[in-house]
Amino acid sequence: MTAASRNTLNAHYTDARIAQAVWSAVRALGFGGGRVLEPGCGSGNFIAFAPAGAQLVGVELDPVTAGIAAALHPAAQILPESFADTRDADGSYDLAVGNVPFGRVVPHDRRHNPGGHSIHNHFIIKSLRLVRPGGLVALLTSRYTMDARNPAARREIASLADLVGAVRLPSGAHQRAAGTTVVTDLLILRRREPGREPDARKAAQADSAGAAGPDVPPAVPPVTSLTQRRLAALPPDTRPLPSVAAYDQLLRLPPRASSPSQGDRS
């Protein structure tokens, strides 16, 4: 019961359609098989849609949920433990996928969280450490990973990986599966090879996105919605603005003389 109560406030389950879309994205980016880590796997929604050739390891804090995942997916290895306690070697996975827990909880992990990051950022950073150079990390996370004014977590992420893509999901994306309207981002990152310089522009954006402060969003979120992006790609509207001259002329016309109504006896 202790693990279940600790997991209640930050456990969110993933809609099957979202899990399938994430798998499609990583396959399109070149994943063809290998060791796959799902931190905070829940009952195994991502594991259920894994492609052939994926050797899956899930980590789940709640022992009951971990048992369900193991029963549903006997081919996967399910570790019933806190991800902070996972002791796999750095670079031992080819891919990490999943929907990380999020909140203001700070996991105690001296090796992978010396900076004291919130749980969602700890999951991202540790996943990057456990994935080999050149491997992918595709995780759904709280929008505050990108929106927080304190850039410390983004700086550490940028020091380890290059951002391949980011998509902000609509607020109702998790309503059907988890009953929540929380706003999440899908971040796809590629672990940087040793000796390769980071993308200077992206590193600068991570460094300057918001001033140091608490994990609260700035006035303008740095992630652009799909709708805004599509509108920005449309060609400019060169049509002339509609004229109001005709309406001005109507306003200048003298008022018509009103005819007496039938009820007027004057």
Confirm whether 265 is domain-assigned: no
Q: How confident is the model at residue 70 (pLDDT cuts 50, 70, 90)?
A: very high
| Per-chain mean pLDDT for the chain | 80
pLDDT value at residue 239: 61
Confirm whether 180 is domain-assigned: yes
Q: Among 145, 64, 69, which residue's Cα sits nearest to residue 103?
A: 145
- How far is 25 from 6, CA to CA, in rounded Å? 32
The number of domains in the chain is: 1
Cα within 13 Å of Cα(214), Cβ side: 2
Confirm whether 248 is domain-assigned: no
CATH of the domain at 151: 3.40.50.150
Mean pLDDT along residues 83-101: 97
Does position 244 have pLDDT exceeding 80, yes or no? no
The boundaries of the domain holding residue 106 are: 2-212
pLDDT value at residue 173: 55
The pair of structure tokens assigned to 163 is 């951002």
Confirm whether 220 is domain-assigned: no
Q: What are residue 153's DSSP bridge partners?
A: none
- The CA–CA distances, whole Å, from 10 to 33, 65, 137 equal 30, 14, 20
Confirm whether 10 is domain-assigned: yes
Is the pTM value of this prediction over 0.75?
no
Confirm whether 223 is domain-assigned: no
Confirm whether 241 is domain-assigned: no
The pair of structure tokens assigned to 135 is 């491997």
How buried is 32 (Cβ within 10 angstroms: 0-12 exposed, 13-18 middle, 19+ buried)?
exposed
Q: How confident is the model at residue 183 (pLDDT cuts 50, 70, 90)?
A: confident
Confirm whether 117 is domain-assigned: yes
